[in-house]
Structure 1
């Protein structure tokens, strides 16, 4: 079997001798390819091979290109509002979103994120639309490439203020956590939803479904979601009877049954109707 060295991408002429390679060898080679300027030419070589198996590999690589192009197109669409704000002179544009308004237990967590236009992050989307694996991959990438702040309001604060006001508290704390990481104050906050954060002097723009339409807000939704999940998973170790690992504090049938059997825990939101005192 040919070595990886024999299949170096920087020597496309080797692909002219595809007949010397088995389909299995070509499949291994193709599995290591990234989408770059050489890939279309590689696909051309593969399509010129008479074997159906090789042509299937070429088709799979073409789908890989199409998928990458779709991701880039989506990124551009989700960057339109930010690009317009940059054109207007805004430099520090913050996306804000929260996770955990609906659960019966645990905190509501908010995140404030400033993306670096020189270090694009492809694949951003509403955290709820992403698999756990993809969320966690993007979470790591956002942490590496962007500036962010995290804030939360615990169950006691939710009971004290109500969930809407507690969400604003978490958002303010996220902005406060972000500020020390910046040289200047943010120019504008892009807030998911239809309600601006009260009592802030920074300019705000609310965007309904912003977590699905604006990159910075999508990034904030991912940071908030993964952070909250990690918190609730830790609670699951202490309050195992409520199955927090699977329901994440939401009012599933098993969670409601556990509340009826065991009563509420210290992290339950007592002001929520289905939670007993």
Structure 2
């Protein structure tokens, strides 16, 4: 059934702007944009162009979701039923834990906008994590700065990933069939099939979701530490070795959450 719309030619440009503001990106918006494009007023044509740009962006986001589903859909077609994406955040900082996330997504339940967390602004990451938690299963694990000093960052990262998987398992109806790990190395000593995917957080939705979950979770941990150790301004540098952070280390020395095994951190 054809939708009924106002007679846009009888409306002022201001009224058309008000009508189209905040409209959902759907089939109706396509029709509205086409109708407005027929209007000879340049101001109305500009509104039509903006709407069509909005539609194009949404189409690109949908296409990205579908493209980043392709590998997992192939795996599911080959019999894998529970495919988990895994990623970490915080390998490089001078302070705080390394945090990992394990995520089971439903490829038929879209979460549009997933990508490598480093490419997404903080506010959008936080919104996406709320949607991920609502539509998927998420496990979070971490390894402390003390564990990083005791074992090294590589082994601590593996420990965080194992804990993320362990924390995810109680939420699942069955044991995972396959873990997709961001990077070029699988987790040692884990009796689950695994596949390492280089740049996986930009290629596979479940790994991208894990990237976002790990990043947002670690940020919250370091922001809490920022209140305990304000002299290092963790809210700004998140524990990374910025010039400001290095200067604070030189002035105040290290805190209990600094990684003493890292070269730029004093004992």
TM superposition score normalised by structure 1: 0.94
**Paired residues of 1:192 and 1:208 also in contact (CA < 8 A):** yes
Counterpart of 2:5 (choices 6, 14, 19) is: 14
Aligned to 1:41: 31
Matches within 5 A, 1:75-224: 75-224=65-214
Give me the whole-angstrom Cα distance separating, in 1, the residues matched to 2:244 and 2:164: 32
CA distance in 1, matches of 2:248, 2:5: 64
Contact 1:111–1:224 (Cα < 8 Å) also in 2: yes
CA distance in 2, matches of 1:24, 1:37: 23
Whole-angstrom distance in 2 between the partners of 1:165 and 1:250: 20
CA separation in 2, counterparts of 1:14 and 1:162? 64
Q: Secondary structure at the match of 2:103?
A: strand
- CA drift of 1:250 comes to 0.1
**Structure 1 residue 241 displacement after superposition:** 0.3
Q: Deviations over 1:54-96 (max 9, x none)?
A: 1111000000111011111111211111011011011111000
> What CA distance in whole angstroms lies between the structure 1 residues aligned with 2:172 and 2:92?
32
Match of 2:250 in 1: 260
Q: Which runs of 4+ in 1 moved over 4 A?
A: none
Question: Could you tell me how far apart the structure 1 residues matched to 2:161 and 2:218 are?
Answer: 14
8 Å Cα contact 2:62/2:112 also seen in 1: yes
Structure 1 residue 252 displacement after superposition: 0.2
Helix, strand or coil for the counterpart of 1:49? coil
Matching of residue 57 in structure 1 with residue 47 in structure 2: yes
| 177, 194, 217: which one aligns with 1:227 | 217
Could you tell me whether the CA contact under 8 Å between 1:12 and 1:42 is conserved in 2? no
8 Å CA contact 1:127–1:222 kept in 2: the answer is yes
Task: Say how many residue pairs are matched.
Answer: 267
Whole-angstrom distance in 2 between the partners of 1:36 and 1:267: 49
Distance 1:140 1:172 in 2: 23
- 1:27-61 Cα distance to aligned partner (Å, 9 max, x none): 12111211111222111211122211111110000
Query: For 2:138, what is the secondary structure of its paired residue?
Result: strand
Does 2:218 match 1:243?
Answer: no
Q: What displacement does 1:245 show?
A: 0.4
Shift of 1:266: 0.2
Q: For residue 191 of structure 1, give the secondary structure of its aligned residue in structure 2.
A: strand
- Structure 1: segments with no counterpart, 5+ residues: 1-9
Structure 2, gaps ≥5 residues long: none
State the distance in 2 between where 1:13 and 1:199 align. 62
- Determine the C-alpha separation between the residues in 1 that align with 2:102 and 2:167: 8
Matched position secondary structure for 2:112? coil
CA contact (8 A) 2:73 2:107 kept: no
